[in-house]
Chain A
Amino acid sequence: MSSTYKLLILGAVIVATYFVPSIIEVFAVLNFTVYIIMGMLALSLAFVWGMGGIMVLGQSAFFGLGAYAYAIGALNFGAGWEAVAVSIIVPAIFAALLGYFMFYGRISDIYVGVITLAVTLILFNLINSTSGPQYKIGSARIGGYNGITSIPTLDWPNGSMIDINGMFYLSVGLLIAVYLMVKFYLTTKYGKVTIAIRENEHRAELLGYNVSLNKLITFSIGGAIAGLAGCMFANWGAFVSPTLFSLVQSAQIIIWVIVGGRGTLVGPILGCIAIQWMVTQLGTQQTVNVSFVLGILLTIFVLLVPAGLAPLIAGTIRKAFGRVTKKGSALAKEPNS
């Protein structure tokens, strides 16, 4: 796709975003905002796994840490840039620490997957067990399985409140900004090495690249992005709970990426939005369990559509466009015949 096309698509997305709140109901705007925030979470894994080749099964750990860091930060020193910074830095540092042990220990992919999953499960148990009044950080009680409620939320820089529509715009704006930053990073020398490591770790090392360090950086950037998504989530509902760390949450992120397509950035974001929508629809009925549907979906995709939907859709579009151009040229020839 040419860069003109990409700019056109980006422009269309921005215009559509502007009009969405005036078309759909308030409740739908609220829901859609969460889809977009989760889209950023999907983007974080699309980057770490799809681009960096690091299979993280417990990406929700950083999402949850970001959300909790924002909540605790905002309760201690107000809903300002400090709390946002904390929500990005805490998960990034946590990722760097964990990454140091994993990547410098040079363990293989599946072990990274298993360990990150174990980390998020144990964080879930840990936070769950902190319901007593003795568990607090500064003036913020962690609250155990009840989570933290009434979190102070962000205002616009000019001091006016961020309303429901404003939150939607902010989420879309941040998602686009982070997406563009990730895209840019991948064109830098470091970013190219990240992709090279996904392709062939051993060769990258033999060329003189410090694979462990690059993976650690990739993993930490992914943690930071997931943390920012967590921060947005905490702002969205003014509420965080241990379920942010749960196994189902971790599984969903994986499913978004698998369904959307490993190896692309846009695919997982779209996959995330589609599946979130599906989950919301399923939530309105009682007969079929959501977890059951998600599980079947994951297994079927791995078995039958391992590359995800993005390459499939891209292929279809390319074919459609190809046909159009052919038709066009055939029409152009007609007068001569």
Chain B
Amino acid sequence: MDFGLIIAIEILGSIAILVLISIGLAVVFGMMKVINMAHGEFIMLGGYVTIYGTNVAGLNIWFCILVLAPLVVGLIGILLEWLVVRHLYGRMIDTMLATWGISLAIVGLMTMLVGNTTTGISTPLPSVQVGSFSTSGHSFFLIALAVVIIVGLAALFKLTTFGLMARATTQNADMVAKLGGNPRRIYALTFGLGAALAGLGGAALAPVTGVIPTIGVSYIAKAFITVISGGGTVIAGNIAASTLFGTISQAFTYWYTPIIGEVALLVSAVILIRILPKGITGRFFKKAI
């Protein structure tokens, strides 16, 4: 019984991590049709903001994770959107390549600034005892945060003017412009929101993984697979894909190793696209994207 509970918590934790590392990417891809290759670096920056905010500036860790990291990384996102991404709208491949350049540049810059070593920070949450087993209290925080993010995003898109405008811009940017909206600003804010979510995810994960300038790489493969398998609908697609792949990868991690879990995630995604190609993209709607 306790053992089953532990397994359930671990699977939920695995799903929550997938949501945290991919939801920002999903928002940007779903709303703007932009695959942001620098997403992993936004996650990494979120981790550094938390670590430096806590260890160097002496700020409260929860303030750093929940407020400072998303804020700082979100602003960086808006800046990069203005500098690079906005000049490439409608050119999906070029956008990917340019953001890949940004990704490499950020890794290089951070390596120059902080060096190529892992910096850690510990969670203030105690471990939790379930019967004779114990599990990290931070897992519960991650699960709760993933739920809050999903609910918050759903509310943002459904209930606020920004959400309405953002969804309308996805459908028809010209029409929004004619109605007096500003698609450019909406895109910039959406990109910033995606970056902020990445920063939040990275901040929340920093106590688990530590941070190193190259840590983005270890997230992006999983994040990309989750997002493209999720398909067009941002929130529902992301929950579905995270649940499926989180469960698969956790099961294989449990049976074998985390690496095999990752391989299983990739293989199942590749098989999925063969069986359900239309679940991912219609073949003749390619140009419409």
Is there contact, CB below 8 Å, between B93 and A55?
yes
Q: How far is the CA of A285 from the CA of B106 in the complex (A)?
A: 19
Which B residues lie within 8 Å of A292 (CB)? 104-105, 107-109, 111-112
Say whether B98 contacts A303, CB under 8 Å: yes
Are B93 and A122 interface neighbours, CB within 8 A?
Answer: no
Q: Which residues of chain A have C-beta atoms less than 8 A from B281's C-beta?
A: 107-108, 111
Q: How far, in Å, is A292 (CB) from chain B's closest CB?
A: 3
Cβ-based interface call for B96 (8 A): yes
Pick the contact of A295 from B96, B101, B217, B228 — CB < 8 Å? B101
Interface check A232, CB cutoff 8 A: no
Q: Does B48 contact A (CB under 8 A)?
A: no
In the complex, the answer to whether B277 meets A105 with C-beta atoms within 8 Å is yes
Chain B residue contacts of A247, Cβ below 8 A: 217
A251 touches B280 (CB 8 A): no
Give B103's nearest chain A residue, CB to CB.
A295
Tell me if A187 is interfacial: C-beta within 8 Å of chain B. Answer: no
When chains A and B are docked, how far (Å) is the Cα of A298 from the Cα of B263? 29
B259 at the interface (CB under 8 A from A): yes
Nearest chain B CB to A101 CB, angstrom units: 4
User: Interface size class for chain A?
Assistant: 35 or more
- Please give me the residue from chain B that is nearest to A252 by CB atom: B104
Chain B contact-residue range equals 35 or more
Contacts of B220 in A (CB 8 A): 117, 121
Query: With A291-B107, A295-B108 known to touch, is A114 a contact of B97 (CB < 8 Å)?
Result: no
A107-B273, A108-B289 known; A114 vs B105 contact (CB < 8 Å): no
A101 near B270 (CB under 8 angstroms)? yes
Quick one: which of B208-230 are within 8 Å of A by CB? 217-218, 220-221, 224-225, 228
Please tell me if A29 contacts chain B, counting CB pairs below 8 Å: no
Give the docked Cα–Cα distance between A122 and B220 (Å). Answer: 10
Q: Kindly state whether residue A126 has any CB partner on chain B within 8 Å.
A: yes
Q: Does B8 contact A (CB under 8 A)?
A: no
- Within A107-123, the residues touching B (CB, 8 Å) are 107-111, 113-115, 117-119, 121-122
B92 adjacent to A291 (CB under 8 Å): no
Q: Which of chain A's residues 57-114 have a Cβ closer than 8 Å to chain B?
A: 57, 98, 100-102, 104-111, 113-114
* Additional A-B contacts beyond A248-B104, A254-B100, A303-B98 (17; CB < 8 A): A100-B274, A101-B273, A101-B274, A108-B281, A108-B283, A108-B286, A109-B92, A113-B93, A119-B266, A122-B266, A125-B262, A126-B262, A251-B100, A291-B107, A291-B108, A295-B101, A303-B87
